[in-house]
Structure 1
Amino acid sequence: MTDDAPELRASDADRERVAEVLREALAEGRLDMAEFEERLDATYSARTYGELAPITRDLPVGTVAAPEVSMTKEPAAAGEWAGRITGGDGSSSWAVAVMSGFERKGRWTVPRRFNSFAFWGGGDIDLREANFADGEVVVNCVAIMGGIDVIVPPGIEVIVRGVGVMGDFDHRESGVPGDPGAPRVIVTGFAFWGGVGVRRKLTRAEKLRIREERRREKLERKAARRELRSSLGESRDDLSEAHRRMLDGHRDMLREHRDERREQRELRREERDRRRRGED
């Protein structure tokens, strides 16, 4: 943050950069949930650089740079996908599970061709946080009396060319258009008395971002109501205001309940998939 202009108004992008640093600090264990929520509320309530600066002053620069506010216009940064197509070789080119399991997830680099094999076992190939050696990669899956799950993030184009014989090769995600500049993933292979699943899922960080966005909208609604009361110079009718708060709280409760039920269904589906692959 710039200390020489603390009274300048901060933008939504400035607040979002500070929120990203807080999310990274939470993931690394530098902040507990109570501290994270307190600082996040202060971030979205801040109106100037001077109010934003103290929020991350005691946090070191980690995997993301600390937010710097520039007083001049700069070229827009390259898209997210362009930064994730790295070229070169992959960090892992094959995986095998024989009466066992394997897992590829987190920050890893998918090679131009990744081969996997599961026999009486199962594996997870998670591409949500992965980098890609090329704009088009092939994930080859062979499952014999076992199962392999390929998990991709929204925005990636998936083409499924695998075949199932007395088994299942999931084609539901095939052909969904991808984002501009996003890599293309071609899933090939063979399933015999087993299954290969292809699913789209948000990352934990993205789920957290959406939850924070909803909370920010709630804070903004409260701030708008306060400003409206101030501009009118009179208070709302107590009964009407209480009724409005009750309705807002009821909508928030229904939304949270719906999200919890969706997460529970997802956990049950993953448990069924693991049992199908024979991991337990």
Structure 2
Amino acid sequence: MENPEHPAPQMRVSDADREQVAEILRRAAGDGRIDTDELDERLGAAYAAKTVADLVPLTADLPIAQPYAQPYAPPVPARHGNVVVPGGSPTSERGIAVLSGFERRGDWLVPQQLTVVAVMGGAHLDTRRARFSAPEVVITVHAVMGGAEIVVGPTTRVLMEGTGIMGGFSGPHDDSQVTPDSPTLRIRGVAFWGGVSVTRRDLDA
């Protein structure tokens, strides 16, 4: 009889299992063991995995604790903050929303400089599961009769430097889980007859 503590290759995996493997891959990228292209490829495979057999090869060549490369290894807790990947590319990016929308969510790489222009349109940026390309990244939002919503996790430090003209910038007030080594998200820009809001939410909210 098979020991139930040893996951069989055909066993279906949960979202928590996928996130454990994703965390191992992010740490490996931060250590320089795999590059950003390979990280993106493996993360895509991890989140698409259906069985233990799908997850095993994704971490088999990484010399760190792996929940599926070896069935007896203890599980790795899911991350609760943004992973910083120094040297990630691109270093700058631009998003335009004119009478339309611009959206980024899930596992994506936040460049060091991200500029978003929303003219009678809207932008939604969810950074809770994002990787930061530097310990401090800057998002500049220019909203003209438009707006932007930016979502951050509990441990991300937020610095608000925007200017409102018949509009405004609003940021989170609860910094209780922010630590000295937390990554920083600096918000800049101008809101003219528009608004930019930064809200703090848990990963599963």
Give me the TM-score of the superposition, normalised by structure 1: 0.48
Aligned to 2:86: 87
Please point out which of 21, 35, 43 is paired with 2:17: 21
- Cα drift, residue 108 of structure 1: 1.2
Aligned to 1:131: 131
Equivalent pair of 1:139/1:186 in contact (CA under 8 Å): yes
- Cα drift, residue 177 of structure 1: 5.6
Equivalent pair of 1:90/1:132 in contact (CA under 8 Å): no
- Cα drift, residue 119 of structure 1: 0.3
Equivalent pair of 2:81/2:155 in contact (CA under 8 Å): no
1:131-164 deviation per Cα after TM superposition (whole angstroms, max 9, x unaligned): 0111111111110100011111111111111121
Larger Rg: 1
Closer/same/farther in 2, CA of residues 173 and 114 from structure 1, 3 Å limit? farther
Aligned to 1:61: 55
Closer/same/farther in 2, CA of residues 90 and 154 from structure 1, 3 Å limit? farther
Count how many residue pairs are aligned between Structure 1 and Structure 2. Answer: 163
- Cα drift, residue 178 of structure 1: 1.3
Letter aligned with residue 16 of structure 2: E
Off by >6 Å, runs of 4+ in structure 1:
22-25
Give 3-state SS (helix, strand or coil) of 1:186's partner: strand
Give 3-state SS (helix, strand or coil) of 1:95's partner: strand
Q: Percent identity?
A: 30
Letter aligned with residue 137 of structure 2: V
In 2: Cα distance, 1:70 partner to 1:193 partner: 55
Which structure is richer in relative contact order (CA contacts within 8 A, separation 6 or more)? Answer: 2
Aligned to 2:103: 103
More helix as a share of residues:
1
Equivalent pair of 1:161/1:188 in contact (CA under 8 Å): yes
1:241-268 deviation per Cα after TM superposition (whole angstroms, max 9, x unaligned): xxxxxxxxxxxxxxxxxxxxxxxxxxxx
1:153 correspondence with 2:147: no
Give me the TM-score of the superposition, normalised by structure 2: 0.64
The CA RMSD measured in Å over matched residues stands at: 3.8
